[in-house]
Amino acid sequence: MKTPVSFFESLKHASFSFRGLLVVSLLLPASGCTFYHSIGKSVGSFLHPVSGHDFVHLDNDEWDSRHAVLYFYRTHSQWAEDEIESPSVYIDDTHYFNIRNNSFTWLVVNPGERHLAMRRPLLGLEGLNSFSLSLIADATLTVEPGRIYYLRYNELSEPTQMHPELDPEHPLAEGHLQLVTREYAMQRQEIISTRFLNSDMLAPNHAAVSIVETNEDVDYERQISLLEEERALEIERLESEGLYEPAPWYWPFGGGPSVPLEADRKIEQLEQEYASLELERERREEAESDGWWFF
């Protein structure tokens, strides 16, 4: 297994990349690029040990069985205890927390494909678009409703048992971040010995919450993008079959398929479902705020 390098060694070897990334980040507001960072959130246990409560599961009435729970935990090691900066955890390209030594946290997520990534920061900076200073994990986990998942992080030792539901080549079946079974996490007392990762002034985070609505928005945008690609391929097929009328030279906005597009039907259905979802959110917010009057 690859031995972790110290913060100062990382700083030495990545100084050129860091300077380049810092310069590029100054140009981001007008570029539309994705800039990964955890500035102000990446403090490690050497400077700020975890002091939350001992591990405890969420009560069943604290989350909806239509969703799922992801537990992230990091076992104790001297390396992690001496760490100056802690790794960042992203779900669907959104940063939620930096995980410090001997800690745990959780997120309630929507079922489906959830993309998990971990990046090691350098003075808070982590990457730009597809470039990462140190990409620890990059995996897609298919989440099922009503289930609880345990994700174990340790840079020095891997689990002694592979999760039985994972293919041996799955990214979460090897490396520093791995999916483990409840039995493994609990019976070996690994997660039980961890403490809750509080959010505070020195290390703010956005974990221990439901991110279902954010997941739903991500899934909608992802599905729309896939259907737009499907639509383009469908138009190409209709053109080859002579079922697509080109726009006349005098009216560039004319023309189109001579038969209804299946992709358009799917897009319309998806948009209607998403509109219903947004309406349900509004109704839920109104119900939760019913009875309050601030004037």
Residue-wise pLDDT tens digits, 257-278: 888 999 999 999 999 999 999 9
* 199/14: higher pLDDT: 199
Give the separation between CA 61 and CA 272, rounded to whole angstroms.
30
Give the separation between CA 79 and CA 119, rounded to whole angstroms.
17
Most confident segment among 130-134, 157-161, 214-218? 214-218
pLDDT at 16: 42
Amino acid at 128: L
pLDDT at 13: 43
pLDDT at 281: 95
Average pLDDT over residues 279-283: 95
Placement of tokens 């939620």 in the chain: 96
* 16/119: higher pLDDT: 119
Q: What are phi and psi of 245, to 5 degrees?
A: -90, 120
What lies within 8 Å, CB to CB, of 33 at 6+ separation is 24, 128, 129
Q: Indicate the pLDDT class of residue 31, thresholds 50, 70 and 90.
A: low
What are the DSSP E strand ranges found in the chain?
A: 35-37, 68-74, 88-91, 94-98, 103-109, 112-119, 125-128, 131-132, 135-143, 148-153, 177-180, 195-196, 209-210, 244-245, 256-257
pLDDT at 125: 96
Whether the predicted pLDDT of 240 surpasses 50: yes
